[in-house]
Structure 1
Amino acid sequence: MANRLSTESSPYLLQHAHNPVDWYPWGDEALTKAREEDKPILVSIGYSACHWCHVMERESFENEQIAGLMNDHFVCIKVDREERPDVDAIYMEAVHAMGVQGGWPLNVFLMPDAKPFYGLTYLPPRQWANLLTSVRAAFNEHRDQLAESAEGFAGHLNASDIQLYNLTRSDTLFTPETLEQLYRKLALKFDTEKGGMNRAPKFPMPSIYTFLLRYYHHTQNESALRQIIVTLNRMALGGIYDQLGGGFARYSVDDMWFAPHFEKMLYDNAQLLTLYADAYTLTQNSLYRRVVYQTIAFARRELLSPEGGFYSALDADSEGEEGKFYTWTTPELKKILGNDFEWFADLYHSTDEGNWENGRNILHRTVTDEEFARQAGWSLEELNEMLSVAHARLMSARSSRVRPGLDDKVLCSWNGLMLKGLATAYRVFGEPDFLDLAQQTAQFLNGPMTNPANGGLYHTYKSGKAGLTGYLEDYAAVIDGYLALYQATFDEHWLQTADQLTRYVLDHFGETRTDETGSELFYFTDRTGEALIARRKEILDNVIPASNSLMAGNLYTLSLLMDRPDYGTQADRMLGRVQPLLQQYPGELTNWAALYAMRVRPTAEIAIIGPNFREVRQAIDTRFYPNKVLCGTESESRLPLLENRGMIRGETTIYVCYNRACQLPVTDVAEVWRMLV
């Protein structure tokens, strides 16, 4: 029989719709029931592509006896963390405060007033059943102690940012010495041989390498460049990257980038598009170009919805087995590839006994196309032709397999990240298809994902319907995407829309006070949204940058493009507020560090006027130069950087300005590079 989750739209909640557990979705009905019946609440949080969430469901939530314990003693609530990041963030922070390592599935026990008193992640069925009995007994017999503990955790959640992070604003901003300190502290944790950070599992963490790119731009420190290259190369050649179909898995369970946790998330691939495209402009590495083209092809093929938005994720499992869709036995490869098997197996390290579990092979490489062709005595063109044929055969065979589950909800924030990736890829490679996809994504965000009543954003979209009031992460990522699309096309609609959304953020996510309470930073939730037990601010960067660090970068970019000094002041106050924490823990604030690197030197404001303004933009974007903003028009514009500026001798003219003071205009892009500092 179906439970209450059967009417939900979230694929994750629907996965649990036929559990014998009497699940409720998060909402007033469940919270009211807990208060009226004076029952503790069990909140179980996960997401559709989460492997261990599936395991716990099979072992415990589909078990009639365990479900009976849950139903008899608790009000049970299932939460999709991607749909409700506000709920997830509060209870994840509470679990961390309890001294427990976080992760998903996240299971948190609450008092009837929704204040948490205990939490943990996955447990096997026997231990889970014992815990349920123990928690209920504690609730009955030691209620006062649990209530006192819950009050303490609630107090922690409601503490100000000053109290939690000691955010005393720094008065010394943007010095090369501090930038060097950030790099050296972060570099202590580098894996200089295999790339990434010196640990396992290994996550891509794009903002680390965005920071290193910007740091290298200022310092020309070859160690930083080597770390970028070894990491991006090893990821692109490793098993974490789908060598046949493109796209990255969420992380590698080992420290070699070899064995992935096979789920594919939109947010990873979106950010890695931006990273690899930017790195290509610095290195001209053909491997990075291939990654960008293949990853966009993957996203178009497997994640693009008919409405124009991108779906959220692909599961790690198919047919109940992790990675089965992506891995191969040697007999399968021999049958499909025939005479091409030997060299293919050599290139992708396939073995008869299998290089992974159950005799299966994860395709991965250790050398580039150029290196392998040279070793084999072939031309690069010959190898590329052979690879094209072999890949096509294997992709055809793979297409007949049972596919991993698709999380077909569309998330506003992740699509904003994807818009940024597509727009950046177009700026770098000039591929018209990339621009078409970017504009389609932007139209979707500006259409179904935007509330026509107030101009705000929705968070989710599923089955033709948008829902949930947008979070700060939605606004921050979408504004960033619109700013990238404007600088790719010079269509002023996207710049104006980014500014409108920024004003919405200032009105709906900020504090009214301007004292020493950290009010420069924005809340994660809209003031008109659902009130939870705490209203939090997202400050620490993770696999996805913190919404506040993204928003600070947006304010800085808009301050230059729109001539809004107040935006720049706000961005600098935000960065100044977190700077002491950044200097102490740069690895936890790498997107803040990337913005800090931008502020160490002035940013060039480049205005292009004339019939070839798009061609000039493309020529400028072929080289890596992060400290710039671009605007352009064919003839005239009301934008501050373009207003009252004309051409020289009827030719497309370029103005390079710093701090709103411009140098003499030029008509040759080569002259632009001589003017940039």
Structure 2
Amino acid sequence: MNSNSISNRLINEKSPYLLQHAYNPVNWYPWSEEAFNKANRENKPIFLSVGYSTCHWCHVMEKESFEDNEVAELLNKYFIAIKVDREERPDIDNIYMSVCQAMTGSGGWPMTIIMTSDKKPFFAGTYLPKKTQYGHMGLMELLNKINKLWIEDKNKLVESSNNIVDFLQDQIVHKKGEISEKIVNDAYESLRDSYNPVFGGFSSSPKFPTPHNLNFLLRYYRAKGDKYALQMVENTLNSMYSGGIFDHIGFGFSRYSVDSKWLVPHFEKMLYDNALLAIIYTETYQITHKDRYREIAMKILNYILRDMTSKQGGFYSAEDADSEGVEGKFYVWDKKEIKSVLGEDADFFNEHYNIKSKGNFEGKNIPNLIGEDLEELEDESIKSKLDGLKEKLFSYREKRIHPHKDDKILTSWNGLMIAAMAYAGRVFGIERYKEAASKSISFISHNLVNHKGRLLCRYRDGEAANLGYLDDYAFLVFGLIEMYEATFESFYLRKAIELNDEMVKYFWDEQNGGLFFYGKDSEELILKTKEIYDGAIPSGNSVAAMNIIRLSRITGDKKLEQKAGEIFNTFAEKINEVPLAYVNTISAFLTSKISETHVVIAGDKDHTNTKAMINEINKKFLPFSEIIFNDESKEIYKLIPFIKNNVMVKNKTTAYVCKNNSCLAPTNDLQEFSNLISK
């Protein structure tokens, strides 16, 4: 908040991002018909600014421009200014980001769009300084230039906006085809060719975790037995953990690293990154049984439970990079400061965490383990001592001014964290993770569903808003499937099936196939987009395709799996051209091509033998297997009719394994069962 004492219309919003701008001298409107009607009535263009509350460059642009009276005077006089939180309205962000990328070749936040009152854009950009510098046009010059053009040649701007929308409309219509059978190998080779063998990852800088790339490589390893695929994953996971992108004092991963060795993070922490990373560390533990990966996954989830979980059970969205107006200030250390906290033990800590007098980041230190032997640090005496020292530093750091926490609760990102908590809970046998997943599901059921039963997108401060988008449905279904396999409570499976059916009802494109980003009952925007690009998070279509395959195999509904095939066909042309951009979709495609393995356990869930068999499953990485528990209830037979004959034999816990289109003899023997699911 700045010194301006008069609020604008954003003061009535719930979004933390919009509220950050509520005392700007800019006469901001939220996205609303009121704003568009006023622009039309007064013959003014719309200035649309899109960002989110933990975005560093959004803060910079606000301080430089939106808190500035000169800028505000121009905006208020010649434009109608609209602020949008991209996390609350991903449909708006999705459309205008595609505009920005088409017009400029890149995108990012804050995003700046100037458009007509009928929402058609004619200018797009990202961060703009107040004044022109280094050859880059400043906001003041841009606003004056646009105003002049609007007065003198409005028709040219309108024509330009129509051409842009027509061009993007043409891009949405995908030419149907078939994904090449060799696409899986093509994706693997693309990752292998871009892999950094020293520090892992698949780019130079900036460097993003992109867990779905690693997720694909583990499935490739499982399907093909290629050890280098696993090696790439392990090196990347170890390097990320060693770097400053991981918060070694308070845990959790930051958004990305600005350098190639993962040292200097962009310090904001996002719920979705930590959910997806917790899953990949858990999966890698299942393959390697290295305690390191289990401990890293647990550190991530413990951070979420400690700092990012509401009392009611919903998971918060993000933590800012900035505190006291300085990026990273909360997280970095002066060597003398560490000495004052740890005393004689400071040298021991500094040696392992690369703390220098000159620092490694703007004169301060980001604790990191780059160059350290991680196996050596697993020596119990070293590990125990370092853990104790980090606890002291954490207690000290807690007294600092914390970064802003975006405490809105998003259905989609909660779905990912539900999946992470459920998956880790069953693999590690930790009930509190499963309980956290259950509480989040309960929170969503009670607070993020409207009177028509429609899923909603965002909850904050007692208010739920915005009809759910594709990601809300797809990611929550993913979480529910994981929760079913973690608990074998049929409620979660039934809910996954129901939500998946609703997703198809609201989002499926009957004419061309695939799933739209926003629903048939949602606000109609200038474009009806379908997202397949697997960027910072996997696309809704790719997650939906994987969910559909899994639900089809669990329930035996073969018609359902055909829907996944239609998704692949809808986007085949794009995927065949650039496999590296659609890796999560290719993971789903690989799953569809692997002969399904069914495992049905029949028995008393609380019996020792039943628990032993389930534990045997949980220890193994079985990405192409679906696990079902026959509790002989009416509901489970209604959901999965084909398991009616898969009952206990000799009144003992019995396992039924079907693979390669044939079913093996049922077994009561734990070792035999273990061998069957290992092959």
State the TM-score bracket (shorter-chain normalisation).
over 0.9
Q: 1:269 aligns with which of 271, 274, 280?
A: 274
Q: Deviations over 1:365-407 (max 9, x none)?
A: 433553246xxxxxx2212221222011101101100000010
Question: 2:104 aligned with 1:99, yes or no?
Answer: yes
Q: How many Å separate the matches in 2 of 1:674 and 1:44?
A: 58
Q: Which residue of 2 aligns with 1:523?
A: 516
Q: Which residue of 2 aligns with 1:516?
A: none
Q: Which amino acid aligns with 1:412?
A: T
Q: Deviations over 1:395-445 (max 9, x none)?
A: 110110000001010000000000000011012101111111111112112
1:385-400 equivalences in 2 (<5 Å): 385-400=384-399
Q: 1:309 aligns with which of 291, 314, 320?
A: 314
TM-score by length of 1: 0.95
Q: How many Å separate the matches in 2 of 1:195 and 1:363?
A: 16
Q: 1:237 aligns with which of 239, 242, 258?
A: 242
Please tell me whether the aligned partners of residues 561 and 641 of structure 1 are also in contact (alpha carbons under 8 angstroms): no
Following superposition, the deviation at residue 182 of structure 1 comes to 2.2
Q: Which residue of 2 aligns with 1:502?
A: 500
Q: Report SS of the residue matched to 2:272.
A: helix
Please tell me whether the aligned partners of residues 532 and 539 of structure 2 are also in contact (alpha carbons under 8 angstroms): yes
1:355-366 equivalences in 2 (<5 Å): 355-366=360-371
Q: How many Å separate the matches in 2 of 1:238 and 1:483?
A: 33
Following superposition, the deviation at residue 644 of structure 1 comes to 2.6
Q: Which residue of 1 aligns with 2:402?
A: 403
CA RMSD of aligned residues (A): 1.6
1:9-88 equivalences in 2 (<5 Å): 9-88=14-93
Instruction: Report the CA distance shift for 1:520/1:618 in structure 2 as closer, same or farther (over 3 A).
Output: farther
Q: Which residue of 1 aligns with 2:129?
A: 124
Q: Which residue of 1 aligns with 2:665?
A: 664
Following superposition, the deviation at residue 36 of structure 1 comes to 1.3
Q: Which residue of 1 aligns with 2:13?
A: 8
Question: 2:620 aligned with 1:620, yes or no?
Answer: no
Question: 2:655 aligned with 1:644, yes or no?
Answer: no
Instruction: Report the CA distance shift for 1:660/1:467 in structure 2 as closer, same or farther (over 3 A).
Output: farther
Pick which of 609-618 and 502-511 moved more: 609-618
Question: 2:291 aligned with 1:283, yes or no?
Answer: no
Q: How many Å separate the matches in 2 of 1:420 and 1:471?
A: 18
Q: Which runs of 5+ in 2 are unaligned?
A: 1-5, 132-137
Q: How many Å separate the matches in 2 of 1:354 and 1:146?
A: 51
Q: Report SS of the residue matched to 1:98.
A: helix
Q: Which residue of 1 aligns with 2:412?
A: 413
Following superposition, the deviation at residue 641 of structure 1 comes to 4.3
Q: 1:542 aligns with which of 520, 535, 544?
A: 535
Q: How many Å separate the matches in 1 of 2:672 and 2:642?
A: 19
Q: How many Å separate the matches in 1 of 2:171 and 2:60?
A: 37
Instruction: Report the CA distance shift for 1:138/1:364 in structure 2 as closer, same or farther (over 3 A).
Output: farther
Q: Deviations over 1:71-118 (max 9, x none)?
A: 111000000000000000111111112134111000000012110001
Please tell me whether the aligned partners of residues 630 and 646 of structure 2 are also in contact (alpha carbons under 8 angstroms): no
Q: Which residue of 2 aligns with 1:144?
A: 155
Q: How many Å separate the matches in 2 of 1:155 and 1:344?
A: 59
Q: How many Å separate the matches in 1 of 2:325 and 2:267?
A: 13
Q: Which residue of 2 aligns with 1:376?
A: none
Q: 1:586 aligns with which of 576, 579, 593?
A: 579
Runs (4 or more) in structure 1 with deviation over 4 Å come to: none
Following superposition, the deviation at residue 133 of structure 1 comes to 0.5
Please tell me whether the aligned partners of residues 603 and 627 of structure 1 are also in contact (alpha carbons under 8 angstroms): yes
Following superposition, the deviation at residue 673 of structure 1 comes to 4.4
Please tell me whether the aligned partners of residues 316 and 409 of structure 2 are also in contact (alpha carbons under 8 angstroms): yes
Following superposition, the deviation at residue 659 of structure 1 comes to 7.3
Q: How many Å separate the matches in 2 of 1:35 and 1:99?
A: 27
Q: 2:466 aligns with which of 468, 488, 492?
A: 468
Q: Which runs of 5+ in 1 are unaligned?
A: 374-379, 514-518
Please tell me whether the aligned partners of residues 317 and 406 of structure 2 are also in contact (alpha carbons under 8 angstroms): yes
Please tell me whether the aligned partners of residues 489 and 614 of structure 1 are also in contact (alpha carbons under 8 angstroms): no
User: Identity of aligned pairs, percent?
Assistant: 38
Q: How many Å separate the matches in 1 of 2:366 and 2:661?
A: 57
Q: Report SS of the residue matched to 2:201.
A: coil
Q: How many Å separate the matches in 1 of 2:288 and 2:407?
A: 36
1:325-340 equivalences in 2 (<5 Å): 325-340=330-345
Instruction: Report the CA distance shift for 1:595/1:673 in structure 2 as closer, same or farther (over 3 A).
Output: farther
Q: Which amino acid aligns with 1:567?
A: L
Pick which of 78-87 and 504-513 moved more: 504-513
Following superposition, the deviation at residue 217 of structure 1 comes to 0.6
Q: How many Å separate the matches in 1 of 2:31 and 2:542?
A: 28
Following superposition, the deviation at residue 635 of structure 1 comes to 4.2
Q: Report SS of the residue matched to 1:357.
A: coil
Pick which of 433-442 and 202-211 moved more: 433-442
Following superposition, the deviation at residue 544 of structure 1 comes to 0.8
Q: Deviations over 1:177-216 (max 9, x none)?
A: 4422221123221112111112200001010000000001
Q: Deviations over 1:161-180 (max 9, x none)?
A: 345xxx3311x76x4x4422
TM-score by length of 2: 0.94
